[in-house]
Amino acid sequence: MATDLRISLTDLCSLRCTYCMPAEGLPWLSQRERLTDAEFVRLASVFVALGVTSVRLTGGEPLVHPGVVSVVERLRALEPAPEISLTTNGVTLERHARKLADAGLSRINVSLDTLDRERFARLTRRDRLPAVLAGLAAAADAGLAPLKVNTVLVRGENLDEAPALLGWALRHGYDLRFIEHMPLDADHTWTRADMVTAEEMLDLVGATYALRPRAERLSAPAEDFDVVDGPDRASWAVPVGRVGVIASVTRPFCRDCDRLRLTADGQLRTCLFAQHETDLRAPLRAGATDTELAELIRAAVAGKQAGHGIGAQGFVQPTRTMSAIGG
């Protein structure tokens, strides 16, 4: 059984990243369609009883969900207590960091694609870079370590900034991970020919920094490297830095992937690229027992597709976009 569950707390978001959402946003779920906090916690308790040990809250933007702190607290109170982490765009992290840490959050990933304010405003269609940087500082202050920063590299947008982003992360002691752009964007701008591959990312960063592959993968999707030397070595906050690449497209890790995803409207997905979802909301609202819900989950996991098939002829992008699935 899978051990890693991602819960998309909301499909709403405070940014409009060009590789994720259209400028005008998406047709949002209605309040009635979204699970309530009690429903999220009830379903999570069934997953935990089935062996899930780690729950990541995501979205949309999980910090625009009003009940996020209390959800963390209630998930931590499940038995056996899962580890709770969260992926955020960081815009309102400054005022949430301490409360989240106090509620029992263990780790946080902040998505940040550029350190240039104008570029940030263009990429996310919102001028919020200072807020994100303040959020990162607040998370570090609150002890939410190790802080991970996720960066999607897009040709013609921020690719040239990759070495500078790594230098910045090393100075602050953050773990940086570069992510390949995946065909999950609402505007359907992704093309295989144009996307930046992990190989290209590593060549670019490796021209400035000495990288040594780590013997084992620290987390399933990322290939991790120790950063052992670089031109700004004296300014690093860490003795040896770390950088990772998440190469979902060019180096798929489907065989090792045991992630499950629960959408904000209670649909279970066993793969980001799945065409099929298992509805848990309808049975939940119709009064299903824990055993009945567990049976539905087990059947969905048993039917998980073997691979995402992005490279295959006839690959069809799922209707749900990244922000509606929960990346």
Residues that bind ligand SF4 (CB under 6 A): 13, 15-17, 20-21, 59-61, 89, 111, 323
Enter the tokens of residue 212: 């040594």
Q: How far is the CB of 323 from ligand SAM (least distance, A)?
A: 5
Q: Among residues 115, 171, 175, which one has the least CA distance to residue 145?
A: 175
Q: How far is the CB of 21 from ligand SAM (least distance, A)?
A: 8
158's contact among ligand SAM, ligand SF4, none, with CB below 5 to 8 A by partner kind, is none
Closer Cβ to ligand SAM, 46 or 132, answer by number: 132
270's contact among ligand SAM, ligand SF4, none, with CB below 5 to 8 A by partner kind, is none
The residues with which 178 forms a beta bridge, in sequence order, are 151, 245
DSSP 179: E
82's contact among ligand SAM, ligand SF4, none, with CB below 5 to 8 A by partner kind, is none
What phi, psi does 176 have (nearest 5°)? -100, 140
Query: How many Å apart are CA 159 and CA 83, to the nearest integer?
Result: 33
Q: How far is the CB of 14 from ligand SAM (least distance, A)?
A: 8
Query: How many Å apart are CA 295 and CA 64, to the nearest integer?
Result: 32
58's contact among ligand SAM, ligand SF4, none, with CB below 5 to 8 A by partner kind, is ligand SAM
Q: How far is the CB of 6 from ligand SF4 (least distance, A)?
A: 13
Closer Cβ to ligand SF4, 61 or 73, answer by number: 61
Residue ranges that bind ligand SAM, judged by CB under 6 A: 13, 19-20, 58-59, 61, 87-89, 111, 150, 152, 179, 181-182, 184-185, 322-323, 327
Q: How far is the CB of 222 from ligand SF4 (least distance, A)?
A: 18
Q: How far is the CB of 258 from ligand SAM (least distance, A)?
A: 19
Closer Cβ to ligand SF4, 35 or 300, answer by number: 35
- Residue 263 near residue 320 (C-beta atoms within 8 A): yes
Q: How far are the Cα atoms of 65, 79, 161, 196, 227 from residue 258, in angstroms, in the given order?
A: 26, 21, 32, 25, 28
The residues with which 210 forms a beta bridge, in sequence order, are 229
Please identify which residue in the block is written with the tokens 């120790």: 226
Neighbours of 117 (CB within 10 A): 13
16's contact among ligand SAM, ligand SF4, none, with CB below 5 to 8 A by partner kind, is ligand SF4
Closer Cβ to ligand SF4, 184 or 260, answer by number: 184
- Residue 280 near residue 297 (C-beta atoms within 8 A): yes
Enter the tokens of residue 50: 């089935």
274's contact among ligand SAM, ligand SF4, none, with CB below 5 to 8 A by partner kind, is none
Q: How far is the CB of 106 from ligand SF4 (least distance, A)?
A: 21
- Residue 224 near residue 214 (C-beta atoms within 8 A): yes
Closer Cβ to ligand SF4, 112 or 297, answer by number: 112
Q: Among residues 203, 205, 211, 198, which one has the least CA distance to residue 245?
A: 198
Closer Cβ to ligand SF4, 165 or 211, answer by number: 165
Phi-psi region of 83 (alpha: psi -120 to 50; beta: other; left: phi over 0): beta
Closer Cβ to ligand SAM, 62 or 230, answer by number: 62
